Amino acid sequence: MPDELERLRQERLRQLIEQQKRSQEQESIQESMRAAEIEKQIKLIISRILTPEARERLSNIKLVKPAFARQIEIFLIQLHQSGRLPQQVTDEQLKNILEKIKGQKREINIKKA
């Protein structure tokens, strides 16, 4: 009897662990799908906002500095959604935006005491 009870406990524990693993796998798949959908929407909006030359420039930036490129994309999307981009952004305009953002960054100097 005690062996039977222990076997049932072990079986139930194994079932719970497997159920949790399946749940985690499903959550991971759903998260991947959400991330892919967000990426797809960003690409679509950026393709509407930027001229082909500006998109190419942004793609080049993304190869070197992906996090910085993402910030630029979000910034451009915010401008577009707020109505401050009445027309497509040209390569020259994108260069100006990049220069302004680059100028805003602070340099941090660490001095040894």
pLDDT (tens digit per residue) in 36-49: 999 999 999 999 99
Q: Is the pLDDT of residue 60 over 90?
A: yes
d(CA 89, CA 20): 48
d(CA 67, CA 50): 19
Average pLDDT over residues 100-108: 69
Query: Is the separation of the CB atoms in 73 and 46 below 8 Å?
Result: yes
List, for residues 12-37, the tens digit of each pLDDT value: 999 999 999 999 999 999 999 999 99
What pLDDT score was predicted for residue 107? Answer: 56
What pLDDT score was predicted for residue 106? Answer: 58
d(CA 113, CA 93): 43
